[in-house]
Amino acid sequence: MAQSFLFKTILKTQNIHNMSTTATISAQDVNKLRQMTGAGMMDCKKALSESNGDFEAAIDFLRKKGQKVSAARAENVTSEGIILTHISADKKNGKLIAFACETEPVSKVADFRNLGQAILEVAVAKNPSSIDELLTFSLADGRSIQDNIVDLTGKIGEKLVIAAYENLSEEEVVSYIHSNGKLGVLVALKNTGGKDVSAIGKDVAMQIAAMKPVAVDKDGVSAEMVQREIEVGKEQARAEGKPEAMLEKIAAGKLNKFYKDNTLLNQDFVKDSSKTIAQILNEVNSGLTVTAFKRISIGA
């Protein structure tokens, strides 16, 4: 009987202590944690309750919540987001980032867009060679980009990811972002002759956005793609009843048509189909050409 009474007394004391701890979590505390983390009011209240009012522990609780959300949505499709680009002051370097999320409303949220811009600024300052390296760099709060993405995932409740990162350097680099904000292009131009070629560069970038070339010129097409096109050409000719002895020649002709339609310098210029991109560039400055381009899109 005495032991039972003692156990009940201890349990009652613990309950009173727990109630007292909960009571000390004021609306001001909840708001303070919300300002510190950007998490929702109810999430902050729960975090403080679970952490007995310890702010550092509450922040860790929210971060762990973010990690759980991130893991739970790992297989979700990120078909929305924003494209961000930066061209250096001397126009010799360009960077392109796709910061993706699951739904269009989230792509318009200030916290999402601000984080995307902060990531781009770090890319400009640190010049990483890959997304993996970019994720390790710290933002102004001292925490890594990866940790910031995880935290915002917890707050927003959607998968967030740096879907692409491109970096080009040349005599002049020009960028273009399509009106939907989900498609971006970088173009590297050589032999500018000291001229500002940003206008024709933008035209070429828009061509790339619309026509989706697979390479700058035929030399940039992979051997695997060339072989596939040859085989497809042969099968098409065979299906049309052409003699076996003619298949190689016919396939070669189809391959040249493939180069014409799918390599940038050989494509007809969209604004003037009587000229190729190579010809248009040469008219601006003799020898002006494209050495590389990057085209990234979200959800398409």
Q: For the segment 103-149, what is each residue's pLDDT rounded down to a tens digit?
A: 999 999 999 999 999 999 999 999 999 999 999 999 999 999 999 99
Write phi, then psi, for 55 (nearest 5 degrees): -65, -40
Long-range own/partner contacts, residues 21-29 (CB < 8 A, 24 or more apart): 21/52, 21/53, 22/49, 24/53, 25/49, 25/53, 29/53
Order of strands across the sheet with 80-87?
80-87, 93-101, 161-169
- Which stretch of 64-68, 100-104, 263-267 has the lowest confidence by average pLDDT? 64-68
The first and second tokens of residue 205, run together, are: 């970038």
CATH 3.30.479.20-classified regions of the chain: 73-169
**pLDDT level of residue 31 (50, 70, 90 thresholds):** confident
pLDDT at 14 over 60: no
CATH architecture type of domain 73-169? 2-Layer Sandwich (3.30)
Q: What is the pTM of this model?
A: 0.82
Portion of the chain with pLDDT greater than 90, in percent: 74
CB neighbours of 218 closer than 8 A, spacing ≥ 6? 259, 263, 266
Q: Note whether 290 and 188 are within 8 A (CB).
A: yes
